[in-house]
Each structure stands twice: as C-alpha cells, then as structure tokens.
Amino acid sequence: MSFRRACVIGHPVAHSRSPLIHRHWLSELKIEGDYLRQDVPPDQIAAFLKNFSASGYVGANVTVPHKEAAFKALQRADPVASYLKAANTLWLADGDLHGMNTDVYGFLAHLDEAAPDWNQHENIAVVLGAGGAARAIVYALIERGVAKIHVVNRTLPRAEVIAAEFGKNVVASAWSELPKRLREGSLLVNATSLGMTGQPLLEIDLKPMKSTATVYDIVYVPLETPLLAAARKRGLRVVDGLGMLMHQAVPGFEKWFGVRPQVSGTLRAVLLQDLGAKGRP
Ligand code: NAP
C-alpha cells in the first residue's frame, strides 16, 4: 500500500489526541502513513471539504465545531450520520466523499467493555447535556433499548428538542429536577463540557443514586473528573471518557489504512502519559 495520510479537522484542533492514537496504530501495525491536525476555521470548512480530494488526505476525523458541516458535504453517509446529521469520520471512495458517525459506536463499545452488565436489567438513564455528544448518546441508548432516558440540560429548550425528536422514552428535564432524576437513574452520563480542564466544575450530589448505578463521564481531560471522583467515593461503578475516544477512532483507521486496529492497554498507556494521568487498577 502506498504512503497514506489522514487528519483530524477542527477549530481549534491543537488539543486533539487523535494523532497520538492513529500514529500509535500506524507504528504498531508497521503501516506507511501519517495522521495530522488540520485547523480549518468555520468560514473555510465548506470549501475545504468540497475540495477534499485535492487535500492529499485519504480521509479525516472531524471534531468541534465541524461535524454538521462535514455531514452536509458528504456524497454518501451511513445511517447513524444521516440520522444525527453529523459526521465525525470521512473517507474518499471513487472520488466521492463518504462519511459516518462513530461517536455512537465508541460510546457503546467502551460502556460494554467497562461495565458489561450495564444493560441486563431495565435501565433508566440520565444524560446531562443536550449538545452534539448528548444526541449521539441518546441515539446509542435508544438503540440498546433503554427504557427511559432523562435529558437534563441547563438550557431546557435544547433538551426538549431532543425529547421531541427521539420520542416518548426520552424526557426533557430542567437542571433543578436533577435530584429526582438521579433517584430513578441506573446510568448517569455526563455529556456536558462541565468538569473539563478550563471549564466550570460539574457539582452535583450523587447521594440520591442507587448503590448499583454506573456513572460515565465522557470528558477525559482530566481523566479522573470531579464527577468520577465523587462517584468512586460513593462506591458507584465509574466509566471514564478515554475509552470512547479510543473506540470511536477504530472504524476510521480501518477505512483509511485497511486494517482494523485494537484498542489495547498499550494505547491507553500512551494517552495516559500524554494526559499526565495515572491508570486505575
Ligand atoms: P456542545 O455541543 O458544545 O454541548 C455542550 C453541552 O454542555 C451543552 O449541553 C451545554 O448546555 C453544556 N454546558 C456547557 N457549559 C455549561 C455550563 N457552564 N453549565 C451547564 N451546562 C453547560 O459539546 P459536545 O460536542 O456535545 O461535547 C460535550 C463534551 O463531550 C465536551 O467536553 C467534549 O470534549 C466531550 N466529548 C468527548 C468525547 C469522547 O470521545 N470521550 C466525544 C465527544 C465529545 P447548554 O445547552 O445550556 O449550552
């Protein structure tokens, strides 16, 4: 196979850990290729994607704020991207720009791995946030047949839009209703940017949650967010955001470089070192 290059497109994009992941796999699998960061401002994204075949890349990941613009630029989209109207993984085939959304896959793959029995009993999920990540997570939970999903968001109308779109199992709630929702929930997912380095803390009281509940924070900088620390202290099962990041990268790498890579402890260690974090036993 000839030398191939892929990239992650975002704005800003300097913080993205995707190059670490793909370069690790390229080196591990001894594949000739590279993976770069491509900063594209919002006013240039449509033109950049229209001429993507001239960029020299075989494909790309797409991060904030360009996932919706990427979907609009596609000639072909997978069913998940078509539903969410957002794409995070692009590739060229026969001159056409194809795309898919692997956030749903990444979210579920890591949850299944870290908490294999999470969906064995009737589940009630509480999703914090109503942005792009929250929509992908609600899609994922519905796909797995979760009985009820409470979407709790600072801006209630955004949660109401998600509830209206996904149907009667999805209920929008104001932040003030959180204690009541936590009492019901068997799975809590933070899909806001709260708790991320540089953002305000996510300060919620987990006391109302059942002792069997699972808490999943998709924020991974820092790896041990204050929410996960509080959940651990309360004795709840915790799932961190790094696994979602690693798993969502798998389908793109396979499309661009022709081999399905493994999410392994070695890859996790590479990312932990970069984040300056320690792994948990
Ligand atoms: P987004 O579309 O910008 O949505 C941000 C969400 O956070 C909104 O619900 C927003 O509420 C809420 N929020 C922001 N500041 C807040 C505040 N001060 N108080 C209360 N709520 C606040 O972002 P996104 O793309 O969904 O991403 C959300 C987070 O998930 C980011 O931290 C991102 O890094 C992370 N993420 C991780 C992965 C992974 O692989 N682990 C993948 C995707 C995303 P309003 O609607 O009220 O503004």
Instruction: Find the helix or strand (DSSP H, E) in which 155 lies.
Output: none
Pairing mode of beta strands 76-77, 187-190: unpaired
Tokens 């299944």 — which residue?
Answer: 112
Instruction: Give the span between the Cα atoms of 65 and 88, in whole angstroms.
Output: 11
Q: Is the pLDDT of residue 72 over 90?
A: yes
C-alpha neighbours within 13 Å on the C-beta side of residue 48: 21
What's the gap between Cα 102 and its chain centre? 8
Q: Which of 255, 266, 241, 144 is nearest to 190 (CA)?
A: 241
What's the gap between Cα 131 and its chain centre? 11
pLDDT digits (tens, 9 = 90+) for 207-226: 999 999 999 999 999 999 99
Closest ligand 1 atom, CA of 192? Answer: 7
Sheet with 33-39, strands from edge to edge, namely 33-39, 4-10, 59-62, 89-93, 96-100, 76-77
Q: What is the mean pLDDT of the chain?
A: 96
| Least-confidence region, from 3-12, 55-64, 194-203 | 194-203
Cβ atoms of 137 and 109 within 8 Å: the answer is no
pLDDT digits (tens, 9 = 90+) for 11-38: 999 999 999 999 999 999 999 999 999 9
Written as six digits, the tokens of 278 are 């320690």
Asked if 4-101+249-275 and 105-243 have one fold, the answer is yes
Question: Residue 125: CB partners within 8 Å, gap ≥ 6?
Answer: 141, 146, 148, 149, 150, 185, 186, 187, 188, 189
Q: Whose CA is nearest to atom 34 of ligand 1?
A: 219
Topology at the third CATH level for domain 105-243: Rossmann fold (3.40.50)
Question: Residue 36: CB partners within 8 Å, gap ≥ 6?
Answer: 5, 6, 7, 8, 19
What's the gap in Å between 192 CA and the centre of ligand 1?
3
What's the gap in Å between 265 CA and the centre of ligand 1?
27
The residues spanned by each domain of the chain are 4-101+249-275, 105-243
Q: Is the pLDDT of residue 1 over 90?
A: no
C-alpha neighbours within 13 Å on the C-beta side of residue 137: 29
Is the CATH number 3.40.50.720 carried by domain 4-101+249-275? no
Percent of the chain at pLDDT above 90?
A: 95
Given pLDDT bands bounded at 50, 70 and 90, which one contains residue 281? very low
Instruction: Find the helix or strand (DSSP H, E) in which 39 lies.
Output: strand 33-39
Instruction: Provide the annotated active-site residues.
Output: 67
Given pLDDT bands bounded at 50, 70 and 90, which one contains residue 149? very high
pLDDT of residue 276: 86
Q: Which of 175, 227, 237 is nearest to 205 (CA)?
A: 227
Which amino acid, residue 58? Answer: V
Alpha helical stretches, state H, 18-102: 18-28, 45-50, 67-73, 79-84
Residues with CB under 6 Å of ligand 1 are: 64, 103, 106, 129-134, 153-155, 158, 191-194, 196, 200, 218-220, 241, 244-245, 248
